[in-house]
Structure 1
Amino acid sequence: MKKIILSADSTCDLDDCLKQRYKVHCQPLHINLGNKQYEDGVNITPDDIYDTYEKQRILPKTSAPNPKEYIDYFKQWIDQGYEVVHISLGSGLSSSYQNACIAAEELGNIYPVDSGNLSTGMGLLVIEAAERIAKGMPAAQISEEINQLKLKVQASFVIDKLTYLREGGRCSAIAAFSANLLNIKPCIEVDPTSGNMNVGKKYRGALSKTLKRYTLDKLNERSDLKLDRIFITHSGTSSENIDIVKKTIEEVADFKEILVTRAGCTISSHCGPNTVGVLFVTK
């Protein structure tokens, strides 16, 4: 049986400790800011993006690696006789999966998986794939099982201000102004069947109170929680906000692990600071 390399797009938002723990390799997406191009998670941070926006009022454009970049990236392992399981950013959000599939056709022994998700919604699938690799499961079977499991991923975020969505053309100036004026904080939910994002419940009031209500809503509406792990993923927020979410999770469910990660540049550039989400898998 061939050895397997586990790979993912940088948008899985796993921190360095988790990447090392689960032996994950990442292909960075491109961040185009001003006249310069950067690599997500390599030579630019979300705080760099926020600082540039505050000073210059410009936001980056993000783009997927092209097929040649994926070919060059995968080839290092294929040439050594490995198989590769690669978890891609949802195809409804990016051409990453399509480009990885082109590379797979060219090289063989590569199994791209359309996560139908983003951020640690992807990360949850990466960890599930790592656990299957550790059990000695073949790459083709891992790909098949992760494709089925992706429909069980519950990924959502509360956005504090709609400023970045407005600047990125993802909501109207009037909607953003009204929401900010009325202190409305929408919950953005990922549809894993398509990777598209939908607006869920709209909360009103201080972020700290909103985060508690949102977390209670997301966990209490499920009777089928898979209690292995849950992510608290944020785009840069206070430790107090993270503690509120963590304590609320502990009040509701006995997860074996509560993992806290910060979203990378691709995700943060679209939602702005103080975005916080809880992401988990159901049975």
Structure 2
Amino acid sequence: MSRAAIVTDSNSGITQETASEMGIRVLPMPFTIDGKEYFEGISLTQAEFYEKLTQNADIATSQPSPESVLELWNELLKEYDEIVHIPMSSGLSGSCQTAIALADDFDGRVQVVNNQRISITQRQSVADAIRLAEEGKSASEIKEILEKVKLESSIYITVATLKYLKKGGRLTPAVAAIGTMLRLKPVLQIQGERLDTFSKARTMQQAKKTMIDAIRNDIETRFGGLDAKDVHLDIAHTNNEEEAMKFKAEVEAALPGYSVEFVDPLSLSVSCHIGDGSLAIAATRNLHI
């Protein structure tokens, strides 16, 4: 039986400490802040990131260098027969396509999964990959399974400020100004390759209700009316843990029988585009094979 190592990146929200507990490896995502390079979870903590964000630092995201990816793969292949590499969605970063190109030189021993997920849904893909590897699936089989179910998840996000969406070019200055004046709270959706506008609300409470209703609709329609044991619910936030825990209670009250498994910070690659104070909820259909 082939032994497969599982690799992901820090966009999954999995910390280096948690990765060690899970028996996987996490590539830290690089950031350039005011001209200096940092690595998520290595030389840049969540607290440090938000401090720099609120100080209007010049922040740019990047992807792991080919050298760092190859170094990790070569190290792992001394111990493992194969590698399953699960990067963030190809629609949100070039790191997936880079990894696919690099894997061509490994004669099939490295399988790059393009299942178009990020943050807490990407984390679930990693958990599924671990389980499949423990069940004896090969790297290519794991890749095939995860890509087959790639759209069986959704993330909904609401932001506390329109500042960073405007800065990133997702809102025109005029729309951002009107939205700020009216105190609008956009609800965004990540499903597959894109971060899109889903709806808008006047208050954070209304935005949270919109997200809960959207998740309920996904469970009833896209996921075929699954019961609680067949759906993972998770919550993420940007520097907003207290409100995230309150949101957890609201979600569980609105969806009796369902429980929220994780309440985690959103990956910094998402956070730098939406700012602090955001809340997100994700639903992922449990893997059945």
For 1:248, the equivalent position in structure 2 comes to: 251
Distance of aligned partners of 1:160 and 1:28 in 2 relative to their CA distance in 1, 3 Å threshold: same
Q: Does the 8 A contact of 2:88 with 2:117 survive in 1?
A: yes
Between 142-151 and 7-16, the greater mean CA deviation after superposition: 7-16
How much has 1:54 moved relative to structure 2? 2.9
Q: Does 1:264 align with 2:267?
A: yes
Once the two structures are superposed, what CA deviation does each residue of 1:221-245 show, in whole Å capped at 9, x if it has no partner? 5313463521101111141443233
How much has 1:79 moved relative to structure 2? 2.6
Q: Does 1:169 align with 2:169?
A: yes
State the distance in 1 between where 2:206 and 2:248 align. Answer: 10
**What is the aligned length?**
279
Query: What is the 5 A alignment of 1:37-186?
Result: 37-55=37-55, 57-108=56-107, 109-186=109-186
Once the two structures are superposed, what CA deviation does each residue of 1:87-124 show, in whole Å capped at 9, x if it has no partner? 11111111111111122112341111113122112112
Root-mean-square deviation (CA), in Å?
2.1
Between 129-138 and 269-278, the greater mean CA deviation after superposition: 129-138
Q: Does the 8 A contact of 1:227 with 1:255 survive in 2?
A: no
Q: Which amino acid aligns with 2:235?
A: I
Alignment TM-score, normalising by the size of structure 1 = 0.90
Unaligned runs of 5+ in 2: none
Q: Does the 8 A contact of 1:212 with 1:244 survive in 2?
A: no
Q: Which amino acid aligns with 2:199?
A: K
Once the two structures are superposed, what CA deviation does each residue of 1:149-186 show, in whole Å capped at 9, x if it has no partner? 11111122112211112223332222222212211111
SS at match of 1:165: helix
Q: Which amino acid aligns with 1:82?
A: D
Distance of aligned partners of 1:172 and 1:228 in 2 relative to their CA distance in 1, 3 Å threshold: same
Unaligned runs of 5+ in 1: none
Q: Does the 8 A contact of 1:116 with 1:150 survive in 2?
A: yes
Within the candidate set 224, 227, 230, 2:233 is matched to 230
For 2:195, the equivalent position in structure 1 comes to: 197
SS at match of 1:128: helix
State the distance in 1 between where 2:57 and 2:70 align. Answer: 32
Distance of aligned partners of 1:229 and 1:39 in 2 relative to their CA distance in 1, 3 Å threshold: same
Alignment TM-score, normalising by the size of structure 2 = 0.88
Between 82-91 and 7-16, the greater mean CA deviation after superposition: 7-16
